[in-house]
Chain A
Amino acid sequence: MSDTALPTRIALVGNPNSGKTALFNALTGSRQKVANYPGVTVERKEGSVTTPAGRRALVLDLPGTYSLRARSPDEMVTRDVVLGHLAGETPPDILVCVADATNLRLVLRLVLELKQVGRPMVLALNMFDIAERQGIRIDLAGLSQALGVPIVTTVAVRKRGLEALLAEVDRLTGQAAIAAAWHQPSAGDLRESARQAERILKAHVKPPLRPDTLTGKLDGLLLHPVAGTLILFAILFLMFQAVFTWASPAMDLIDASFAQIGGWVGAVLPDGLLHSFIVDGIIAGVGSVVIFLPQILILFFFIILLEDFGYMARAAFLMDKMMGVAGLHGRAFIPLLSSFACAIPGIMSARVIDNRRDRLTTILVAPLTTCSARIPVYTLIIAAFIPPRQVYGMSLQGLVMLGLYAAGISSALIVAFIIRRIIWRSASEPFLIELPAYKTPDAWNVARGVWQRGQIFLQRAGTTIFAMMVLIWVLATFPYAPADATGPAINYSFAGMIGHAMLPVFAPIGFNWEMAVALVPGMAAREVAVGALGTVYSIAGDNTAGLAATLASKWSLASALAFLAWYVFAPQCMATLGVVRRETGGWFWMWVMFGYMTGLAYIAALITYRIALSFGAG
């Protein structure tokens, strides 16, 4: 085989929870590229692999689906790629349909539908080890013949069967696609293909000798109306406590490292503009963002673990009624939960909600849930103003943080209620989801997922946030203070000018001009405000003490609380606004979100400030 030959394009298709992504990871390892499909915000995951014949193959991981009848943007991508209709995407040469070998009924129907597409196809019976352990007897030859597609068995997490799968790909390479005969199936077509799949299943797959009883037993507890709900809340509580306690040693280490680097570099460089730019602008700025990597990794660790375990669908089941009170769909629980990490994947995962109004409502309220970018801001203010006392055996700081999370989620639900029950009163979308069998999450796949999220965060820290740090340094440095200046130099800079200009708007809610200045670059992303405050205060000559200590001495408690209240609601994130624009297909909803969140933030900060003042916290 020559290296110059065009790579074989393989598309992975399958039901949700079939282990498709695990198979994708096993095939492509670290040779993966995550991007978006042009024009839509569906994540496009592609990787490369070399087949036994030495051919290069590109593997595309498509969103999971039960049918090519697309109901959501995610499923539309799957349909269009499979049919070769997606503009800018080379049609796949070979389809690999990935099936959970323990749960074949629905995927056999999908195989029958995929066959109508006319492309060469191979069926990968994944998680075959679990099927064998349960004593499910599958007549592979018979099944393959009945379906008319070759079959390989795989165990993605053990990297078993990959050679056989790729050998099958080699065999099918070059085989021409036949004319597509696929059309939107009617209810009659679906019944017919379901019956056919049922016949094939009955003839070639014998039920398990040792069925999975664990899922049933666990569900007895985890789906129990009372115990299950309590366990869900306990899991959420544990998650947030872990984000705080587990992350702190790593955060201290990062903090000390950046201080160390700043010290070394500062000692080498002569005093002056370059010294200030590198030490105050770059090192302090990037350090103040990278420090939150441990918390983000821990949060995503929990989210991915729960997802892979099969718990997320259960959480949607438990929360459906409560979400329904707020006018939201049970499926909105997953986007909202993801928004605790970052509103951007949360808003993007709202695509699983098919109904436009349900989806728009979820998108509009998702940024109110406490994303990880708020953690830096909250942590800083809490460390500065809330004493590290124990209250009933719990840390007071942790309780304040929990309160801020509660304020975020309850405001999201209240706003959703107002939109869905008062502004848009209409029937809700059906709630119909599969509850997958519980599976032991695979450490390697979880680690890969967490690492990918960490990389995305660091890329943001390395690009957008870094650019904003340089910008704030410029704003805070130029123009220079006059030679006879009495106040700190920053008073005379652009940043000072902007801060002072905005002061009349922010003074009623207790903000000083430094806070107003920090809000400007803080529009890039919430955590940037921390770096901005650091830069503003370190340039103002307060670098010796930690930033928290500086704030504690410069801000009143009332101002600090108002700042926290502002950050619960304010739309301080360009990236989120950009994603909302893309996901809703226009500027309108982005401005609606910006307007309502800014309004809420101002009112909340105003009320907080006035109440705190009346308690003598000024």
Chain B
Amino acid sequence: MRLSGLAKGEQGVVQGLDVTGHGGAIEEAELERRLLEMGFVEGAHVKVLHEGLFGRDPIAVKLDDMRVALRRREADAILMDAVPA
């Protein structure tokens, strides 16, 4: 399961990053490093707080004790273990 598949209110724990095919304009390894620097490390707790108006994108998530906004495209690189709400 990936973070991109979570709806508002759903939560989980980061299990790993799979950046293959998600780099977009940047290298995949670079996306991985940026996600890590922002705190998307294995074991981090993530809950989807808000969704954008069009296509429910981007999303705002609670990431441990901070808040981060990202697009579902990038969220698709984040593998999750679901945690019941």
A66: interface (CB < 8 Å): yes
B60: interface (CB < 8 Å): yes
Residues of B within 8 A of A225 (CB): 50-53
Q: Give A111 Cβ to nearest chain B Cβ, in Å.
A: 14
A391: interface (CB < 8 Å): no
Expressed in whole angstroms, the Cα–Cα distance for A356 and B52 within the complex equals 26
Within 8 A of B (CB), among A190-235: 190-191, 194-195, 198, 207, 215-216, 219-220, 223-226, 229
Interface string of B43-80 (1 = CB under 8 A from A): 10000011111110110100011111111011000000
Q: Give A530 Cβ to nearest chain B Cβ, in Å.
A: 40
Instruction: Tell me which of B23, B60, B66 contacts A219 (CB under 8 A).
Output: B60
Within 8 A of B (CB), among A393-443: 426-437
Interface string of A132-143 (1 = CB under 8 A from B): 000000000000
Q: Give B3 Cβ to nearest chain A Cβ, in Å.
A: 12
Is A435 in contact with B67, judged by CB distance below 8 angstroms?
yes
Expressed in whole angstroms, the Cα–Cα distance for A431 and B71 within the complex equals 6
Residues of A within 8 A of B43 (CB): 198
Report if A434-B42 is in contact (Cβ < 8 Å); known contacts: A106-B37, A224-B50: no
Instruction: Tell me which of A226, A229, A429, A436 contacts B25 (CB under 8 A).
Output: A429
Q: Give A322 Cβ to nearest chain B Cβ, in Å.
A: 8
Q: Who on chain B is nearest to A195 by CB? A: B41
Is B38 in contact with A432, judged by CB distance below 8 angstroms?
yes
Residues of A within 8 A of B33 (CB): 69, 185-187, 190
Q: Who on chain B is nearest to A320 by CB? A: B58
Is B69 in contact with A430, judged by CB distance below 8 angstroms?
no
A316: interface (CB < 8 Å): yes
Expressed in whole angstroms, the Cα–Cα distance for A22 and B71 within the complex equals 31
Is B26 in contact with A355, judged by CB distance below 8 angstroms?
yes
Instruction: Tell me which of B24, B41, B55 contacts A430 (CB under 8 A).
Output: B24
Is B41 in contact with A320, judged by CB distance below 8 angstroms?
no
Expressed in whole angstroms, the Cα–Cα distance for A219 and B49 within the complex equals 9
Instruction: Tell me which of A317, A355, A430 contacts B34 (CB under 8 A).
Output: A430
Expressed in whole angstroms, the Cα–Cα distance for A321 and B50 within the complex equals 14
Report if A330-B58 is in contact (Cβ < 8 Å); known contacts: A225-B51, A318-B52, A432-B34: yes
Expressed in whole angstroms, the Cα–Cα distance for A406 and B24 within the complex equals 31
A542: interface (CB < 8 Å): no
A105: interface (CB < 8 Å): yes
Report if A191-B69 is in contact (Cβ < 8 Å); known contacts: A318-B52, A321-B55, A428-B25: no
Expressed in whole angstroms, the Cα–Cα distance for A58 and B60 within the complex equals 39
Is B71 in contact with A191, judged by CB distance below 8 angstroms?
no
Is A354 in contact with B37, judged by CB distance below 8 angstroms?
no
Is B68 in contact with A432, judged by CB distance below 8 angstroms?
yes
Q: Give B54 Cβ to nearest chain A Cβ, in Å.
A: 4
Residues of A within 8 A of B32 (CB): 187
B6: interface (CB < 8 Å): no
B13: interface (CB < 8 Å): no
Most chain A beta-carbon contacts within 10 A, residue among B37, B57, B58, B68: B37
Is A432 in contact with B74, judged by CB distance below 8 angstroms?
yes
Interface string of B13-40 (1 = CB under 8 A from A): 0000000000111100101111111110
Instruction: Tell me which of B49, B52, B70 contacts A432 (CB under 8 A).
Output: B70
Expressed in whole angstroms, the Cα–Cα distance for A191 and B44 within the complex equals 12
A157: interface (CB < 8 Å): no
Expressed in whole angstroms, the Cα–Cα distance for A357 and B26 within the complex equals 12
A358: interface (CB < 8 Å): yes
Is A219 in contact with B67, judged by CB distance below 8 angstroms?
yes
Q: Who on chain B is nearest to A223 by CB? A: B50
Q: Who on chain A is nearest to B55 by CB? A: A321
Expressed in whole angstroms, the Cα–Cα distance for A69 and B32 within the complex equals 13
Expressed in whole angstroms, the Cα–Cα distance for A294 and B24 within the complex equals 44
Is B68 in contact with A435, judged by CB distance below 8 angstroms?
yes
Interface string of A553-572 (1 = CB under 8 A from B): 00000000000000000000
Expressed in whole angstroms, the Cα–Cα distance for A67 and B69 within the complex equals 19
A241: interface (CB < 8 Å): no
Is B60 in contact with A430, judged by CB distance below 8 angstroms?
no
A103: interface (CB < 8 Å): yes
Is A434 in contact with B68, judged by CB distance below 8 angstroms?
yes
Instruction: Tell me which of A190, A191, A207, A223 contacts B60 (CB under 8 A).
Output: A223
Is A426 in contact with B25, judged by CB distance below 8 angstroms?
yes
Q: Give A309 Cβ to nearest chain B Cβ, in Å.
A: 15
Expressed in whole angstroms, the Cα–Cα distance for A318 and B50 within the complex equals 10
A600: interface (CB < 8 Å): no
Instruction: Tell me which of B34, B39, B74 contacts A105 (CB under 8 A).
Output: B39
Q: Give A479 Cβ to nearest chain B Cβ, in Å.
A: 58
A313: interface (CB < 8 Å): yes
Residues of A within 8 A of B24 (CB): 427-430
Report if A316-B64 is in contact (Cβ < 8 Å); known contacts: A430-B31, A432-B35: no
Q: Give A416 Cβ to nearest chain B Cβ, in Å.
A: 15
Most chain A beta-carbon contacts within 10 A, residue among B23, B29, B68: B68
25 interchain pairs, CB-CB under 8 A: A66-B37, A66-B38, A103-B66, A106-B39, A190-B33, A190-B36, A194-B41, A198-B43, A207-B65, A215-B67, A219-B50, A219-B60, A224-B50, A225-B50, A317-B50, A318-B53, A320-B57, A320-B58, A321-B54, A428-B25, A430-B26, A430-B31, A430-B73, A432-B35, A435-B60
3 interchain residue pairs of minimum CB distance: A225-B53, A427-B24, A435-B67
* A contacts, CB < 8 Å to B: 66-67, 69, 71, 103, 105-106, 109, 185-187, 190-191, 194-195, 198, 207, 215-216, 219-220, 223-226, 229, 313, 316-318, 320-322, 330, 354-355, 357-358, 426-437
Knowing that A223-B49, A317-B60, A435-B67 are A-B contacts, what are 13 other residue pairs whose CB atoms are under 8 Å apart, sorted by A's residue number? A190-B33, A190-B37, A225-B50, A225-B53, A226-B53, A354-B26, A426-B25, A430-B25, A431-B69, A433-B68, A433-B70, A434-B38, A436-B67
